[in-house]
Amino acid sequence: MSAHILKNYDSDLSALKDSVVQMGGAALDALEKSVAGLLEGNLDQCYDVIDDDEAIDTQEKRIDEQGMSILLRFNPVASDLRHVLSSINICRSLERIGDHAVTIAKRSRKILKAGAVTEVRLIDPLFREVQKIVSSALTVYSDVDEEAAMKVIQMDQKVDDLHKSLGKSLSAQIAGGAKETEPLLNIIFISRSLERIGDLAVNIAEDVVFISSAEDIRHT
């Protein structure tokens, strides 16, 4: 490549990475607002998450366009090719995190409109772990840190354990004849969305490993 083309190439790769990090921040913000709305009894935050989902979808489309432009204009190889392909893949995981945040916001809205439910506090430990794993996944992408990415993957076990424990506890209450079963069911569905967000953070970390070492560790 000529010096001019190389400069444009490097600039476009950097811009792609910046776009993914920005989208990641938006997805994490949506997650945090969706749960904060529930825990703080703030319907406005739930509505904000639902209203802002289109912006996250728009970011995904822009990243797709940026990635395809790099592939067509510069024909990258090796680690640069893996970076572009994985960035496109990661933005899809981020879009799905945004979708789950919307699901949480809608479930939270139903719970809040029905009245106060003390069991919503049970969501907090799971949320904190999911918040941590998503934030860590975004950091390892930004740093392209394979060692840290492997640690993110290991973090998911705690998310799974908290999700299962919460599900068993709430299911036992329902089976035991709890008066208000609908709010408890909505909390179970929120827990499931949080667990899926943890899985998507793992997907991001796996993509970082692929960028760094060309090793596909999915389903291993």
Q: What is the CATH number of the domain that holds 175?
A: 1.20.58.220
- The percent of residues above 70 in pLDDT, for the chain, comes to 97
- The percent of residues above 90 in pLDDT, for the chain, comes to 88
Please check whether residue 218 lies inside any domain of the structure. no
pLDDT for 97 equals 98
Please check whether residue 11 lies inside any domain of the structure. yes
Structural tokens at position 94: 């981020």
Q: Is the pLDDT of residue 1 over 80?
A: no
* Helix ranges (DSSP H) in the chain: 3-40, 43-74, 78-114, 123-143, 146-175, 181-213
Q: Is the pLDDT of residue 114 over 90?
A: no
Q: Is the pLDDT of residue 58 over 90?
A: yes
Q: Is the pLDDT of residue 75 over 60?
A: yes
Please check whether residue 31 lies inside any domain of the structure. yes
Owning domain of residue 31: 3-213
pLDDT for 177 equals 79
Please check whether residue 219 lies inside any domain of the structure. no
Where does residue 177 fall: left (phi above 0), alpha (psi -120 to 50 degrees), or beta otherwise?
Answer: left
> pLDDT-based confidence at 157, cuts 50/70/90?
very high
pLDDT for 3 equals 62
Q: Is the pLDDT of residue 216 over 90?
A: no
Q: Is the pLDDT of residue 89 over 70?
A: yes
Please check whether residue 103 lies inside any domain of the structure. yes
Mean per-residue pLDDT, 97-126: 95
Q: How far apart are CA 86 and CA 144, in angstroms?
A: 11
Q: Are 138 and 25 in contact (CB under 8 A)?
A: yes
Domain count, the chain: 1
Confirm whether pTM is higher than 0.85.
yes
In the chain, the amino acid numbered 149 is A
- All residues at 6 or more sequence positions from 110 whose CB lies less than 8 Å from its CB, including other chains: 182, 183, 186
Mean per-residue pLDDT, 32-61: 96
Mean per-residue pLDDT, 16-38: 97
214 or 164, which is more confident?
Answer: 164
Please check whether residue 136 lies inside any domain of the structure. yes
Q: How far apart are CA 13 and CA 79, in angstroms?
A: 12
Mean per-residue pLDDT, 98-124: 94
